Structure 1
């Protein structure tokens, strides 16, 4: 575990903070005060560590309902990242295969103060090259994993499992400008980056894992994908398979919120709304609840991590199937990345997310598998989700899985 002040972190220049959900009015006037990085091998409870660290630095993470106001002389807030593997640990589940990007932490908390002057303009990006992408599994292996999930469903072990594949590519140059381009993809509600010594994460996520504003908790699970054409939209709305898969995850998320909500307050505000991300239609629902009195960050993270839409149902059984089927760990994907500040929290689910370590770019994509899933269609859907991310990074826009 690393716990450093700014002088103990790699000497990064003061630049505009680009963490997803950071306050827009403050982004060019923030300076890192302190950070915590944690990895699975460090042991301990990452949720408790994050809560204690934030509370010690003036952010009321031990009681998210406590009134707090943004003030220029106090911490603005903190970027918060939780990997899928850390989320699995919080749920007492299997963390899955080892990460293909071990330089990335499994928890990162970066606290920011307001700087006296705006950050200088970023220098123009230098030369950038991305080599060929190499998948961690072939199309055939991906399809076989879909078949294995269907077999587990047939045995009654699970109802649904989200399968995720990984691909990596060599690069030369500074990866941060390339990863920052992901934020400009259409529909990237949680577009932004977070970086540390030897690693960078870039997100184009459209999905809210959990948000808290004015005592109200909100999650927006996404399940169901079709090409962003008129025919694709009609097909998505008419698909019994996609709707059944979606409803299962809505029920799971309702149950997760109920663990940290005032009794009887959980509501489904919008069900199966069709929204666009790049060249895809996706089905999204909105579920909200009144935050329970005295709720701390640690209990909230334990309730919602890992996200149900990227895990499956039942969640713990799905994690076992994921661990058995996925040859590469989920790394920066399928976790949480966002912002916690005085009086609010907003974390995106790290779908449509890529990362860089010292030598490779990493990208992940997948989809939910049910009994009605067609293996070839699932392989094609994962490729369609990966394509815009790879194109934005400057590589070959061909499908990620061959």
Structure 2
């Protein structure tokens, strides 16, 4: 039984034959012998397809198809079919042959160039795709927007952030507001490059640019906070970190370690406790509960920390919270409970080792490392700490 793709290819061939027949009827001055030649080539090509000799079929249909608006679409459908099947070389051949025809209109030529650039991208020939798309993006036409979008994908893959910013800004000018968030991440990537070469002035400028595109860019706040901390500006570091709670409270867990250190450098443990208290009222997440438990254990002792954590876990259960509770109980074992608690803790330790820490809210990709661009679907700012009983 032939596969679906082969059947689709046969349908394309049949469509080509139909278009050729209709063209012959319209052209009354076309010679009878020429019409017979075309018909013969069509059936030869169909025979090749039925025998799955697709290379020979392509050659035959290329010879058989005269170019007009209808047959350009047929060519493009054929190339698209090969691309979907993963036969990129064949798709490239179809599109290159089509592009070489002098009878193409300007619009048709641009459309074919766009499809050929996609072929190059799929084949991993990013330099060739980039050159073609960059040339298309220089002038205003109906395919410019899509050319810019494809060009942006290339720069993301190649991590060419300066070029990505330039293309992203062009896309933003078209009224596509969704590129503002993406641009903020590009500026953050630029800031990281500047920091790696110790150009802190340029890094700060890039962070400011990120905020101009997305005022709620958590990543920019975290980068700024780290810079402020490293420069000894602990109050500014705290300001940047506490801003994250207003930008997107899901990312508060990413702020707590550095926030505790900054408050510690200022000798202001109460300030950190007050921040945790506000978070517990507004959004009592597991990471905040554990941070408060740690502060209470250090400041008031394990017994007070145990009471607090037990009460919080009754309202906001989590594996990490349970694990922390058992750690405290092991330090202060009740009579007869030590062995059972130890065994339970070993089980939760193993469970936590296997659980992902971060998850993409767009495609569901999960892992233990934080990525600002999802490795699965390449969305920016879609990955966040896992929430709920198995999360933070």
TM-score, normalization by structure 2: 0.22
From the two aligned structures, give the one with the greater strand fraction: 1
Q: Work out which of the two has the higher radius of gyration on C-alpha atoms and give 1 or 2.
A: 2
Higher relative contact order (CA 8 A, sep 6+): 1
